[in-house]
Structure 1
Amino acid sequence: MTDLSNFPITARWPAADPTRIQLYSLPTPNGVKAAIMLEETGLAYEPHLVDFATNDQKSDAFVSLNPNGKIPAMIDPDGPGGQPLALFESGAILLYLAEKTGKFLGEGPADRWHATQWLMFQMGGVGPMFGQLGFFNKFAGKDWEDKRPLGRYVDEAKRLLGVMDAVLAGKTWFLGEAYSIADISMIGWVNNLITFYEARDLVGFDDFPNVGAWLERALARPAVQRGLKIPARAWT
């Protein structure tokens, strides 16, 4: 029987089946990366809701797994050498699950690095910039009299969308015909930009038709539809 008792987080969020991957998350743009990837790979897992409303992500239990206090985080009971492995940071989780399953890294070393570079593009650009835009457009930042911060992030979001649109011209996915972690990393962020952050018109999203078509294809995938809603509620 797999024993995860050495991980303090499991006292707060007990594992119903400790042989499954334990995912601690919330359906945010970063949180859904891990859920979509797990759904796409078909790996057995249990999602546990980390509730921002009660600052679960800052609790001692959660910080014991991720000292940075951010979702998602996970424990794979069958990690390298058959030993449990704890991971945080959504990009690291995508890379790990891709290597574990041999899926969504394209074909060969060149594709692997191309997928990785787009993952870094998302983590260093798309995520931080779209997130700041959301803050200044929808949350507390919208009440600031100085609109220069919003303007900066709108301009940068448009620039990033332009990069993506040019790369996706004539392609199905970022690697061409191969759906990969590059796509998985960006789905939640682009979708959030035009839905939850209410910035479709603000960034002129319809001026980037290749990105729009890519997002439609991604959202049509059953695993993506499931992953965007996980964890909908706590299992425990």
Structure 2
Amino acid sequence: MSSKIRILLPVKRVIDAALKPRINKAQTGVESAGVKFSINPFDDIAVEEAIKIKNAHKDKVESIHAVSIGPSKAQDILRVALAKGADTSTLVDVKDQEVEPLQVSKILKKLQEKHNSNLIILGKQAIDDDSNQTGQMLAGLLNWPQATNASKVKINADNTVEVEREIDGGVEVVKASLPMIITTDLRLNEPKFVTLPKMMKAKKKPLEILKVDDLGITLENRLETIKLEDPPVRQGGAKVGSVDELISKLKELKAI
């Protein structure tokens, strides 16, 4: 096995995390017209970690290839990844079609094979659909070991990777040899701001645009959104004067 590490870095374009999403009039999804989009925050953490690994192991890391599956406008977030330090990138243009995690995983498998990547780092979930499935499904398709919800990553001299995962009541440490998949959690790092000069330089880095057909994949959605609605507004609390009154109120609410 080659000792060189080739990182595949999937990133997704989502509505900016600072905005509060609004449901569209048809109640079929979130309103996207006139809304600011940015790189998915968990994927931004993945980008930062990939660059950290590259800087710490310059003799080991051969390349970082960023990829996004989305509309043509997703080139913007690929430029961000390139500005931060990714070497090359690919956009799989699916126009405005929603792509489910299984289809995303199949596309990423094709790109892994194309670029011979042996380490895939991606956010544990996207903040738009919150599926938290792509990394796990991709690991299943590739039959690779996976370390999900990473809070710390360490590359050893023998190319084994140790990953700390926060779990209920403590920290779990897992270890595997390459190839492997890592999904990133919030505590892993804090992404740095990209300066304008770096964004300008990123325009000179390779950005390949493909269609799904180019990869021999047909998009097939298995899920249908019937309706999307806001949760009910929470009612204010009330003080009670005695245990008997509390029990009476709970009975009124059919809580007991």
TM-score by length of 2: 0.28
Larger radius of gyration: 2
Q: Which has the higher contact order (CA 8 A, sep 6+)?
A: 1
TM-score by length of 1: 0.29
Larger relative strand fraction = 2
